Structure 1
Amino acid sequence: MTAKRLLVLATGGTIAGRAGSATRRDYRPGQIEIDEFLDSVGSLGLDVQFAGRQLAAIGSENMTPDIWAAIHAAIVEGMADDTIDGIVLTHGTDTAEETALLLDLTLPTTKPVVMVGAMRPADAVGSDGLRNFANAVRVAADDEAAGRGVLLVMSDRVIAARDVRKARTSGTDAFAGFPRDGIAHVTPSSLEWYGPSWRDDEDARFAFPKRFPTIPILYAYAGMQPDVVTDCLASKAEGIVVAGFGEGNMPDSVRAMLAETAKAGTPVVRSTRVDMGLVDREPEDERNRFVAARALGPGKARILLQLLLANGVREPAKIQAVFDRR
């Protein structure tokens, strides 16, 4: 049987980082170019062929819409290439969940797209990069990986884009999923899916934006005043996401100002600063014209709202229907 051929797109991150010492805490991400990285992968004995392409060499805290556009275009090209069976995207962990959701919503599901990163640079003691990459390769080369949308592979788990979030600042087990955690368990020698695919041959849900609308995130805090909303509007915000207390709560004065804002036509989404949990609709939301983020945290709620506005969806009820969709 012919070995699978995978397109590996590199953007930098810790998986391509070096510290210059096995025990230093600080390091520089994106130091290992794709050709060198794939040479090191050759020692793993993976039964696949690789085509590598360097798109960026950054820490993902510096991710931009321009780089997102380059990633999206390269994946679309790979999906159209009959010689490519799946795509692996190396990415820093800081904004991996946002990139994952953006790609998940703007790509078809016909070929596996698997994101992978690391929490320790390549020359650190106990580096996790090569194991994570070997796991990602096993997932991307598996026929059953298609039809599941964009996936992220870290610490022997496969997590769907809609569920994944970075939950810990350090340690190799830094990612969690909500409301689903892992959808498969993977090692370099095995892969077990916990259920069947749910998006077989599905087209992209949204067109990739030509421009990303300006949407700030307001982080709720004790003593928060409504002038923060005024500041957002002065900066030409086209929508607002609130990282609220608990189930998307905020001070009454801020809520009143945001309700005026939403009624004037600027969409407002209530999310939560809590790590995990649903933000359901509350009785006041219809009157205030607010949208409840449901299972999406603030960063991912912002991505979805940007896509909706860029695709001409502005009515709160229609926005809410997309946030409700699983």
Structure 2
Amino acid sequence: MTRIAVIATGGTIASTATEGGVVATRTAAAVLEGAVFGDIEVETHDLMTVGSYRMTLGHLRLISDEVDGLLRRSHDPVDGIVITHGTDTMEETAILLDLVHDDERPVVLTGAQRAGDARDGDGPRNLADAVLTAASPQCRGLGVLIVFAGRVLPARATRKVHTTALDAFRSTACGAVGTVADGTVTVDAVPRRPRPIPRPTAAFDDTRVDLLEMYPGADDVLIAAAVSAGARGIVLAGTGIGNANPVVVTAVRGLVGTDVAVVLSTRVPEGPVQGVYGDGGGADLVAAGVPTASGLPATQLRILLALWLSENKAEPDRVRSMIAAHADIAEEDNKEE
């Protein structure tokens, strides 16, 4: 019999309405109540019960530790893992897990857009689809997946694209890898994944990496504040193809070669990041020594940078090599930094 472990972390799928708003309160057993999975045996693990908007890097590491422990368990081994999670930061947890995943067995994240006590909730269907996906032989070797609204999505480059729609997630780089319909999992594509990197240690919890979005009139104040607060890294979500302005370029130029790593991303959902424009644009940032990253959205790039900086120094050449190997989808994805 196939055995799937369900790790509950909270989120809307585990939430109920209270006087103070919708709050995560339900256990894994409560979330699974009444569900039938045929010949799939499901075991539950209550790890935490929080809204994902409250999560820290420490929470993400705890989830990673739980996954690792279950995959290493020798007695009653599991065939796959499902994680119920809030949708707000599911993309961050998914990429952390995928970056370090070195096992053929699927790890699947899912959740809900409607509270657990809603009459027309989407949680039960998403959870059933996730369990089927985690149990499917077709999904072995695909890495970490997000299953939502009948779609099977790769962790890499998948992000929440709508605040309330039931089909809230989409991969901005390569699309879905499959579907779940009428109890059948169909896989149409195999996502390219870079070689796994070491799992997070306790140092990850306190590795500060700030995400700064560019906008008309942006200056160096937030950059200076991030450095003053102890940031080990800064992800610049530039406008368009990856642009800023002369004030920001000057501030960033002063950080290149220090113990603060700066990486250029974009606030635009899709498309490459390139140094094309001068006069404060991406060409100036690249000329200053800032690496660009196109394969991951800025939210996921921040997790990668924090994971890497938690165990490495911000040496420009090594940061650039790491970004090329793990943040950009290219033929070189399997190179080691």
> Which residue does 2:121 correspond to in 1?
127
Compute the displacement of 1:126 (Å). Answer: 2.3
The counterpart of 2:54, out of the listed 57, 62, 74, is 62
Deviations 1:77-96 (A, max 9, x none): 11112421111000000000
Whether the 8 Å contact between 2:115 and 2:121 is mirrored in structure 1 is: yes
Deviation at 1:61, TM superposition (A): 0.3
2:2 alignment partner in structure 1: 4
Q: Unpaired segments of 5 or more residues in structure 2?
A: 277-282, 330-337
Contact conserved, 2:31 with 2:116, CA < 8 A, in 1?
no
Are the equivalent residues in 1 in contact too, given 2:161–2:168 (CA < 8 A)?
yes
Q: Say yes or no: does 1:192 pair with 2:200.
A: no
Contact 1:145 1:197 survives alignment (8 Å): no
When the two structures are aligned, how many residues end up with a matched partner? 316
Alignment of 1:236-255 (within 5 A): 236-255=230-249
What is the Cα deviation at residue 313 of structure 1?
Answer: 5.3
RMSD: 2.1
For residues 260 and 65 of structure 1, the distance between their equivalents in structure 2, rounded to whole angstroms, comes to 28
Q: Does 1:306 align with 2:306?
A: yes
State the AA in 1 paired with 2:171. G
Q: Hey, what's the Cα distance between the residues in 2 that align with 1:138 and 1:62?
A: 29
SS at match of 1:172: coil
For 2:170, the aligned partner's letter is: A
Residues 211-265 of structure 1, C-alpha deviation per residue, up to 9 Å, x if partnerless? 2321111121111122322222111211111111111211111111111112334
**What is the match of residue 279 of structure 2?**
none
2:317 pairs with 1:317: yes
Question: Please, which moves more after superposition, 249-258 or 312-321?
Answer: 312-321
**Conserved in 1, the CA contact under 8 Å of 2:242 and 2:275?**
no
Query: 1:210-221 maps to which residues of 2 (within 5 A)?
Result: 210-212=202-204, 213-221=207-215
Aligned to 2:334: none
- Unpaired segments of 5 or more residues in structure 1? none
For residues 135-180 of structure 1, give each alpha carbon's deviation from its aligned partner in whole angstroms, at most 9, with x where no partner exists. 1011100122121111000011111111210011111011110211
Q: Distance in 2 between matches of 1:165 and 1:76?
A: 24
Partner of 1:146: 140
Decide whether aligned partners of structure 1 residues 299 and 189 sit closer, same or farther in structure 2, where only a CA change above 3 A counts.
same
Which has the larger displacement, 160-169 or 314-323? 314-323
Q: TM-score, normalised by structure 1?
A: 0.90
Give the aligned partner of residue 291 of structure 1: 291
Counterpart CA distance in 2 for 1:250 and 1:126 is 44
CA distance in 2, matches of 1:106, 1:45: 29
**For 1:115 and 1:153, how far apart are their aligned partners in 2?**
6
Deviation (angstroms), 1:323? 2.6
CA distance in 1, matches of 2:111, 2:72: 25
- Does the alignment pair 1:206 with 2:198? yes
Counterparts of 1:270-281 in structure 2, within 5 Å, are: 270-281=264-275
Residue number in structure 1 paired with 2:27? 33
1:84 pairs with 2:82: no
SS at match of 2:255: helix
**Is the CA contact (8 Å cut-off) linking 2:232 and 2:259 kept in structure 1?**
no
SS at the partner of 1:37? helix
Q: Following the alignment from structure 2 to structure 1, what is the Cα–Cα distance between the partners of residues 112 and 192?
A: 28
Letter in 2 for 1:10: A
The reply to whether residue 50 of structure 1 matches residue 46 of structure 2 is no
Q: Distance in 2 between matches of 1:154 and 1:168?
A: 13
CA contact (8 A) 1:163 1:181 kept: no
CA distance in 2 between counterparts of 1:316 and 1:281 reads 17
